[in-house]
Structure formats: C-alpha cells, structure tokens
Structure 1
C-alpha cells in the first residue's frame, strides 16, 4: 500500500492509515466512503528551503470513477477544510459554561463536531467487526454461501464451498448458471420455496451429483445442510443463507459397516449350518460318544484353521497351497508333496476345499498312505482354459496299504461330494486302487460362469 506523508506528531501514522484504508475500501467495494474528520497537516516549504507543517482538519468524501465494465479506474476526492471549525471548537471548549451560551457556540463547541467524531469512530469499529466476521465466515470448516434475490445469485462463499464445487468461478452468477448439474435434483425448488415462504429447509445425508470442474464427470456427495432466509430491516426476504457439511465419508463408512455386518451374519449362518451338518453326519457314523467327540472335534478344528487363514487376509481370500498345508500339517509335511501354481481362492472356496482336504487327509491317516509306514501323498493342481478358468486337483496316495471301495458311503465321502458339487459347482471322482486312493476334483474359478 502506498505510504502517505501525514506530517510529524504521534497521530501521523494513524492519520495516514485512515486515508489509505478509505481509498482501499473504495477500490474494493466500488462504493463511496466518507471520513467525517481527518487530521492531516499540510507541508509548506519556506523560503530558506525548510518545510513546516500547517495543522489542518478535513472532512473527506472519496467517490469511485468506473469504466464501461464497472471497474474502478480513479477515485475522486472531495475535501472540506474544517480547520477553522476545529479551532473554534477548541476555543469554545476553553470558555466557562456560562460563557458558551449561544446556539452557534453549542454547535461549534460540541454537538455537531462530537457527533461527527463519534460516527467516524463507530464506523471504524463496525468496519473492524465486519472484517472479523468475514474472516470467521471464510474460515469456518463447513461450507457456507450467501445467495441473493429470486435468481439466487451467489454473492459470497467460503473455501469449503469452493472445494465442494471444484473451485469454479461462481461469484456473481445465478445458481442455475453457476451449478447447472443441480437441475432435476430438487435443490432449485427448495431454494425457491425458502425464498417464497420464509421457512428454513434442512437436508440430512442428502445425495447430490456435482461436477468438480465444468463439463466434468458427476460425482456423488452426501450433505447435511440448511437453507435459512435472509431478511432486511423491514423483514422482507432478500436471499438465502446456505450452511452445511460434506458427510460423504461418514455415509460411506456407515454403508461399509452395514455391508460388513450383513456379510458377518451371512458367514455366521453358513458356519452354523456347516457345524450342524458336521454334527449330525458324524453322529450317524459314530455311535460311541468318545469316537464321535474325537471326529467331531477334528472337523471343527479344520473349519477353524481355514477361518484363521481367511482372518489374516481380512476375509478377502486364501491361497490354495496355504489351505492344503494347514489341513495336512498334523500328519507331517515331509510325507506330502504339493505341486502347483499360486491360486487365490475366495472365502467360500477356501472353506469348502479346507473341509475336503481335511477329510482326505483324515481318511489317509486312518486307512491309507498316511498310516504308519512309508506311504506318501502327492497333490498336483493346475488351472486350465484361461477364458473360463477351471481348477484341476489330483490327490494321489502311494506306498500305503491297498484300498477298496467301501460298501457304503461314509460322511467323508458325502461331504466331499456335496461340497464339490453343490458348493463349488464342480465334479469329483474317487478311485480306489491297490496302490492307494486317487481323487480328481475339478471346479470352476469363475463362479458366475458356473
């Protein structure tokens, strides 16, 4: 800001500041500004080259001069020298009360001059308060805007509102022109209703489609907001005050939580159904309570192992090799050979295959290659047809006792068949040979295609 020479004295800097502030206000607002009383000495150069200051008082009016576009190009300063009035005021001020009895004396000595000084002081105070309120308005964390008139012209908005609309240049534009993407979403109608009725409108978690830049793609935001009518001194409604908060993150978090709870309920129901089925089928195959308890416990532990794997990945899935290792580790990994690529299984696949591998390993430990001896289990798997991928698993037992096809299907066989056919939409073939059991399992990896 340009510095102005206000002469010597303690008040010089304040006098210069008042003058500069008045000019700045005219440039910013485009409206005239008045200084009722300005103490501003005038420098007068003396014949010997020295400069003396003539103490003067002024009443100033600063009027903007604008070009065709409405921009302020010049400021017209009209000043009235009220120095003599000030000197008379001071002179009268030194008189005794009984001496200052005329109307003119009263006028000069106090009334008009003091009122002028008081008005100017009030104006400075109000201007300071206005700036403070404007700073608070602009820095508030929620979005705020002031809309004027029946067209809802955006007169002012803060940074949060600008961020919400992609920092578009909307000041001075009607809302329908500034934010055309709001058409058909009901917000224009709500603003019209507030302006017509004077009743505020409140929205909670209201979805709104907004562009972050002109002609850009629409994004969905969720807002808590209120439209408040703005009234003038006579009570007439002049505009709408918009205030609110972007609660998109809160709404999306609540939706994710609901989805997680629904998914948890689904998993719990499925798990309980699986446990119930295991209990019933195990009871049919084991009349002895001790035998039932041991078998039932081992199958529940198998289910628990797979759940542990899924928990580590936040139930996003598990790798096939990890599922196999978990379900066969109790029988000694040195007696198993696992060969195949990395295959990611979704949670449902992981649970079903975990139960299947547990049954195969348990049967091998009781009757097949994993009984005491030199038997081994070889598990090979591969993925075929990448356009419609299928997982092929071959479980082969070697070096163990010969096995014969059972006379009746036990729970293990039924569980394998049910899980493969119904849960995994695949096929399973069991071959009982002299050198051990062989199981071929094929399941689609794309469940939608299946």
Structure 2
C-alpha cells in the first residue's frame, strides 16, 4: 500500500513546479471552495494551473462563475499584503473595491470574448490603504472539458512606475514649455545646417513682427536677417560647436505688413546643442530686445554733449553779464546787486527751459517767470497778452534777459517805481510770419532820455536784435518807455543756435 504522503505527491504531480505559490496550492484545503478537492479537478483546470505557475509574469486564473482565484509567484508580489488570503477566494470578494470592474471581466470572458486594457487606472487596497495604480491587463477565456469557457486567465503587468514617470516627464516638459512661452526674453530653436526653426516663443515672434517661421530655414523665414550676416554666424556656431554672444547688436527687421525695415538692437547668444555622439544638431537662440536701452544710452550721450554745450554757453553768458555790468556801475554794491539780479534772471529762464527738457519753452510761461520778481501783492501792475507760442531755448533766454533789464529799469525809473504805473508785455505773429514783441509803460514818471548807455540798453538794443536776427527800437514817449522787437518766426523758434551776449 502507498502512504498518504506518496498519495499527496501523486495528487499534485501535475503542478510540475516548485515555489511558494505551488506550495500554497498543495497545502490549501480546496474542498472549502467551489472548486472542490484537487482530485476532482478537471484536466483543463489542472493544465491551466500548471501553465500559470511556470510563467514569470503575474498571472491569475479566475475559475468558474465565482472566479475562484489561483495565481503564481509573480502575482503574489502584485497582491501585496492580500497574499496569500486571495488564494481560493472569489474575485469579486477578494478585490471588493473593484468588484464592478471584475464583474464585467467575468461576464465578458465567460461569454467567450477577450478584454485588454493599457495603463488601466484602478484604486486597490493592497497594503491596508487605498492606492492608485496603473496596469496593463489582458483577459482571455479558459476552455473547459466541453470546450466552453470555464474560467478566465488574466495577465497583470503593473505600469504604475512607468505611468508616474511619464507624467513627471510630461509635467516637467509642460513646465519648461510654460517657462519658454512666458519668458520675458526672446527664445528660438533651430536645427540642421540650414537652421530650420523648430520652436519660437511669443517674445521672439513679437521681435520678428508676428511672422510664422516654424519649419522654415532662416534664409526663407527671415531673409533680411540672413542677408545681414546672422545666418553666417549660425553657420559658424554649427560648424565649430562654440557658443557666440553679442551685445547691443544692430539688426534691421521687417516688423509690419508694409515690409519697411525697422532698426532694433539686441543682446543675444547662440548656444549649440549636441547629440549623444557630440555632434551639433541644434542651436538655441536666446536674447533680449534692448532697443529702448540703447536708444536711451544714445540719448543720454546726446544730452551730456548738449549739457556741456549749454554749460559753456551759460558760462559765456555770465562772463558777458559780469563784464558788461562792471563797465556801467560806480560802486561795488551797485555792481553786486546788478550782477546778482541778472544771474537770477538767467537762472529763472534756465529753470523754465529745464522743465521743458531744453527743447524750447512756452513764451507765456517764460514771460511770467521773468516778470514774477517784479509783481506787487494786491496790485495788477503787469499785464501779459499774446497768442500761444513755443519758442526755442536760444530765443527764450535772450527775451528773458531783455525783459529783466526792462523791468529792472521800470522799477528804478519807470512805471513800476510808483503806485499807479503799469506795464504791458504783448506779442503778435503777422500773416507774413513776422514776430513782434512790445513792452509798453504807462502812468510812471516822465521819461527822460540820457546819453549814458548801460548794460541793459546795450542788451536790448544791440545784442538782442543781433541774436534774433531782427530789429529793436526804444521810444521815450510822454506816457512812458516803449520797446519793440521785430524778427522772423524762424529766428524765434530756432532751437539750434547758441545763446550768447
């Protein structure tokens, strides 16, 4: 007689495999399941069990209507902490959290059909907590003794790590794409020896006037850029593999529909990109449109030069004021007062011009500034009238100094020396484009002409008309002093002449 151990070995001889799963099958009490004792298993179930045990990939078999589970060692790793309790359990109960999914599998495959899923997302409780996983799943029916489906075999390959890795790559790629798109600098990628555009960001598209250049070589996409030597620079980088950097480079671009070339300035770098063999395959273009910065720097240089010019002119004016004043005074005190007042008048005129960036001044503003020091609170002794007119800095300074001398004289000897006199400053522009400035005093002491010609007289009768290429005359009338300057509008608005006395 054969003993029980020998009988048991004979019973499971069909497994033909040694391993943890095979040992569990040998020790498991299958009589407690719908499959019954192993001795009663049909040959189809035995054969299918032996086949899955030999497979290195995770396989689980779901036998019968209940889907009783038999699986191999690889599947036991996938099952986690649910192994070995899943052995002999009904699949809808063993994986209760996805019972609906498995119910569809059983119904479909027992009807003779197959199912396949790629990167199927499921939430499983393999280790005592809900876990999101992804799997490639292939389900096929297993025929029974009568040829009809008696069970389902499932090949289960977990792809969670690959899916998450792909997602990380996609997220990183999207992040880089967002950085590329939202970068404040212009960026582009060209490939091949003909420098064909693969990528451009919005700032680069803005730089080139919104042109669609993707897929085009630079010679076709931006012919004006290629003709200016930038294609040759790309050739150099592609050939040598050495990056190239340029600062404040001038480039002419067609940025509108009319095709007119527009001057721009850019800081940029051409960075070669190599493949695994060290060969240059692409060039990354990155830079900034610094046109406004370059123009500001050029404007600053121009302003510095202009400032130097104006400082020299101002110093020359002050030197002339001091020299001319000293010729006509008798005492140091008189000289000091006269020089101070005239330099202050020049300073006020400078302030007005500085506020206007030295490109000219509103004439009324300049006249108001010149007469401000001679107004009396509560008395309207000075009236100003004339059309709105912008004059050049040269004319503005000359007129301001002349008005200061006239007002100073009026305070000392004329209409502003008493409580009843008035002064009118007015200007007109004729249809022949002639400019006339008049100074009229009324109500002051009787005017008396003298032979003595001081700095003020020389300024308004000789220097002023000479500077403004016009004529000047003074009238010592019964009602008060009058002065008239006539010149061309061209001389008045000219901003290029230098100021001198």
TM exceeding 0.5: yes
Alignment of 1:417 with 2:484, yes or no, is: no
Alignment partners' CA distance in 2, 1:56 and 1:377:
104
Corresponding residue number in structure 2 for 1:395: 439
Corresponding residue number in structure 2 for 1:262: 305
Contact 1:328–1:358 (Cα < 8 Å) also in 2: yes
Alignment partners' CA distance in 2, 1:202 and 1:44:
63
Equivalent residue for 1:436, pick from 463, 475, 480: 480
SS in 2 for 1:205: strand
Alignment partners' CA distance in 2, 1:154 and 1:232:
18
Corresponding residue number in structure 2 for 1:274: 317
Alignment partners' CA distance in 1, 2:478 and 2:396:
31
Equivalent residue for 2:250, pick from 203, 207, 213: 207
Equivalent residue for 1:381, pick from 416, 422, 427: 427
SS in 2 for 1:446: helix
Corresponding residue number in structure 2 for 1:406: 450
Contact 1:331–1:365 (Cα < 8 Å) also in 2: no
Equivalent residue for 2:215, pick from 145, 148, 172: 172
Corresponding residue number in structure 2 for 1:348: 394
Alignment partners' CA distance in 1, 2:362 and 2:163:
80
Aligned length: 360
Q: Which stretches in structure 2 are left out of the alignment for 5+ residues?
A: 1-100, 120-135, 141-156
Q: Which one has more relative contact order, counting CA pairs under 8 Å at least 6 apart?
A: 2
Contact 2:114–2:139 (Cα < 8 Å) also in 1: no
Alignment partners' CA distance in 1, 2:255 and 2:440:
60
Q: Which has the larger displacement, 419-428 or 353-362?
A: 419-428
- The alpha-carbon deviation at position 53 of structure 1 amounts to 9.6
- The alpha-carbon deviation at position 343 of structure 1 amounts to 2.2
Contact 1:43–1:52 (Cα < 8 Å) also in 2: no
Q: Which has the larger displacement, 116-125 or 315-324?
A: 116-125
Corresponding residue number in structure 2 for 1:370: 416
Corresponding residue number in structure 1 for 2:294: 251
Contact 2:226–2:232 (Cα < 8 Å) also in 1: no
Alignment of 1:148 with 2:196, yes or no, is: no
Contact 1:208–1:222 (Cα < 8 Å) also in 2: yes
SS in 2 for 1:382: strand
Q: Where does 1:47-126 land on structure 2 (aligned, <5 Å)?
A: 126=169
State the superposition RMSD in angstroms: 3.7
Contact 2:423–2:439 (Cα < 8 Å) also in 1: yes
TM-score (norm 2): 0.63
- The alpha-carbon deviation at position 312 of structure 1 amounts to 4.2
- 1:33-82 alpha-carbon deviations (Å, 9 max, x no partner): xxxxxxx99955849x99999776779xxxxxxxxxxxxxxxxxxxx997
Alignment partners' CA distance in 2, 1:421 and 1:320:
17
Alignment partners' CA distance in 1, 2:285 and 2:216:
15
- The alpha-carbon deviation at position 184 of structure 1 amounts to 3.1
Q: Which stretches in structure 1 are left out of the alignment for 5+ residues?
A: 1-39, 60-79, 85-112
Equivalent residue for 1:446, pick from 474, 487, 490: 490
Contact 1:401–1:434 (Cα < 8 Å) also in 2: no
Alignment partners' CA distance in 1, 2:160 and 2:369:
90
Alignment partners' CA distance in 2, 1:146 and 1:254:
30
- The alpha-carbon deviation at position 213 of structure 1 amounts to 4.2
Corresponding residue number in structure 2 for 1:162: 205
